[in-house]
């Protein structure tokens, strides 16, 4: 059959499953990067956990690779883009550790509230210190949950059983869905100002790195206790130490850190800080689930069957007409989420023109993939995107019409007060955004974009471009959008970098500017 290279410890049941199907299971632990490049040659499958980094060099060396399996949720250590470019499927085990991670969060919550590890250490050292390690009850306290994916929802459910009041912050969850969980959705600043405990369950993205920093902590309710079992870097550890020293934060419980492994930190010197070495998924059950799940996915991939947890599912079954629109659909979904700063309760996806004559369901999946990618605590694929929408209370309505107005084909998204539309232009099929909030525009999608709404009066373009120029931000493209009434009251700019906060503040406070919204 096929050679399966396993570079980290995997549950025996998973290894047996692959061997029983006739595959050669080659377990090589502790490989250096150079040794991995050498070992992957000739392997049809590579299975890793979190310690092995699958780089483009590894993928290039694995000329016969069909699939890379990550026995866990996160894919930070796998270059999915390079794998997709090489035609290598990437699979993970997205549900293997959700229960373990949620339970570990509750363990840290209780340990922090009742000073369990500190009292344990003192007693084993011969000290009977009842008064020193007095704790607090959870009942009646407010728990602020940031990120309401699978793990965050499970934590909220279990905290409710302790009699805790629940606040939540997740722009990708509808108010109705939060209500069903017995939770009030609030802005992040409001959440930290009202919470006794703060727990984080978000993906590590450029937007969430340093999310809990000095600025946010300075707004916290005095005595707040901070928990992080999601990803290192979400909490600014220097800012947390500052807040502890200032008495703003009463304590913390951390399972993840900016740099791992970590054996020394200023936070370790603080008695009210409880730490564990990234144990969220470290249960026998989670490891067994991950091992079995990844073995099943790899076996299916090697057999050429449908793979439920493939992160980069091939769109080869899409028609020749539909396939070129997949990247555009995903980009529109991503831009719509950032434009709306969340998701609507109802998302309308409309296909106009020739696309209406084809099966466009995979385009809708691409829209949802873009909508949720980078904002939930797991990789998003064509497979799990509909489930994520359902979990977050988003109703998706898909409509098609063969009527043609300005474009041969058009994909348009609408929800709440926002809308965006795009098409492919020219012989090379280059993507274009042609409608934004019902203003007619024509601009290629860029990595960094700025949408400015302004009064329809002279001098507004100069005001915006001057503000960016003074900050040293280069403008690579600018388009003025016109409303259905013909008013020039919207600008879209493509820039060479993300805009500094001070530039946004300057624009938003300038006379005549209604709003300035970055899309990165």
| H or E segment and range at residue 414 | strand 409-415
Q: How far is CA 307 from the centre of its chain?
A: 22
Q: How far apart are CA 335 and CA 337, in angstroms?
A: 5
What values do phi and psi take at 378, rounded to 5?
-160, 155
In whole angstroms, how far apart are CA 86 and each of 55, 79, 279? 12, 11, 33
In whole angstroms, how far apart are CA 33 and each of 26, 29, 43, 54, 57? 17, 12, 16, 9, 9
Q: Burial of 80 by CB count in 10 Å (0-12 exposed, 13-18 middle, 19+ buried)?
A: middle
Angle at 231 between CA 55 and CA 15, to 5 degrees: 55
Query: Shortest CA distance to 321 belongs to which of 381, 411, 252?
Result: 411
Catalytic residue among 104, 278, 392, 506: 278
Judging by DSSP bridges, how do beta strands 165-169 and 142-146 pair with one another? Answer: parallel
Count each helix (H run) and each strand (E run) in the chain, helices first: 17, 22
Q: Burial of 153 by CB count in 10 Å (0-12 exposed, 13-18 middle, 19+ buried)?
A: buried
Catalytic residue among 260, 269, 442, 502: 260
Tokens 């409608």 locate to 435
Q: How far apart are CA 104 and CA 107, in angstroms?
A: 5
Buried b (16+ CB within 10 A) or exposed e, 288-298: bbbbbbbbbbb
Tokens 């860029």 locate to 446
Our answer to whether residue 260 is catalytic in this structure is yes
In whole angstroms, how far apart are CA 233 and each of 8, 215, 260? 25, 15, 11
Our answer to whether residue 38 is catalytic in this structure is no
Q: What token pair was written down for 140?
A: 């009646």
List the 24-27 sheet strands across, edge first.
24-27, 3-6, 45-48, 67-70, 89-92
Catalytic residue among 23, 231, 432, 439: 231
DSSP letter, residue 484? T
Our answer to whether residue 57 is catalytic in this structure is no
Q: What token pair was written down for 500?
A: 């500094």
Tokens 């059950």 locate to 285
Q: How far apart are CA 383 and CA 369, in angstroms?
A: 9
- Cβ-based neighbour number of residue 7 at 10 Å: 23
| Residues designated catalytic | 231, 260, 278
């Amino acid at each position: 059959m096929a050679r399966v290279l396993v570079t980290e410890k995997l549950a025996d049941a998973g290894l047996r499953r692959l061997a029983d199907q006739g595959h050669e299971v080659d377990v090589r632990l502790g490989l250096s990067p150079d040794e991995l490049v050498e070992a992957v040659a000739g392997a049809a499958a590579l299975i890793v956990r979190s310690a092995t980094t699958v780089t483009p060099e590894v993928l290039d060396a694995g000329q016969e690779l069909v699939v890379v399996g990550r026995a866990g949720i996160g894919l930070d250590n796998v270059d999915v883009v390079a794998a997709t470019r090489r035609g290598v499927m990437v699979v993970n085990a997205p549900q293997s550790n959700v229960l373990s991670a949620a339970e570990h969060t509750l363990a840290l919550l209780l340990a922090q509230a009742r000073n369990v590890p500190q009292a344990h250490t003192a007693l084993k050292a011969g000290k009977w210190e009842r008064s020193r390690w007095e704790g607090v009850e959870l009942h009646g306290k407010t728990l602020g949950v940031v990120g309401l994916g699978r793990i965050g929802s499970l934590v909220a459910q279990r905290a409710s059983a302790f009699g805790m009041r629940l606040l939540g912050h997740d722009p990708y969850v509808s108010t109705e869905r939060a209500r069903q969980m017995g939770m009030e959705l609030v802005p992040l600043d409001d959440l930290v100002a009202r919470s006794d405990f703060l727990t984080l369950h978000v993906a590590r993205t450029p937007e969430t790195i340093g999310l809990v920093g000095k600025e946010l902590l300075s707004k916290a309710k005095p005595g707040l206790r901070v928990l992080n079992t999601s990803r290192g870097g979400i909490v600014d550890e220097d800012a947390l130490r500052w807040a502890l020293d200032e008495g703003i934060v009463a304590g913390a419980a951390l399972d993840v850190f900016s740099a791992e492994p970590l054996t020394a930190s200023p936070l370790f010197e603080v008695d009210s800080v409880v730490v564990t070495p990234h144990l969220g998924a470290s249960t026998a059950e989670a490891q067994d689930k991950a091992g079995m799940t990844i073995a099943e996915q790899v076996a299916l991939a090697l057999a050429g069957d449908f793979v439920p947890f493939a992160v980069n599912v091939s769109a080869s079954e899409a028609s020749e007409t539909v396939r070129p629109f997949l990247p555009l659909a995903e980009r529109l979904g991503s831009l719509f989420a950032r434009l709306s700063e969340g998701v609507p309760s109802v998302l309308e996806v409309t296909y106009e023109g020739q696309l209406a004559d084809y099966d466009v369901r995979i385009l809708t999946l691409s829209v949802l993939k873009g909508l949720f990618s980078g904002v939930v605590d797991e990789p998003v694929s064509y497979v799990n995107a509909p489930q994520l929408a359902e979990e977050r209370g988003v109703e998706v309505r898909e409509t098609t019409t063969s009527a043609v107005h300005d474009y041969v084909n058009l994909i348009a998204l609408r929800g709440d007060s926002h809308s965006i539309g795009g098409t492919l232009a020219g012989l090379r099929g280059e993507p274009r955004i042609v409608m934004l909030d019902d203003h007619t525009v024509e601009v290629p999608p860029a990595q960094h974009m700025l949408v400015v709404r302004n009064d329809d009066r002279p001098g507004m373009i100069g005001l915006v471009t001057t503000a960016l120029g003074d900050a040293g931000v280069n403008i690579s493209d600018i388009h003025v959008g016109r409303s259905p009434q013909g008013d020039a009251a919207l600008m879209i700019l493509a820039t060479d970098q993300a805009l500094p906060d001070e530039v946004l503040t300057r624009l938003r406070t300038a006379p005549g500017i209604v709003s300035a919204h970055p899309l990165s």
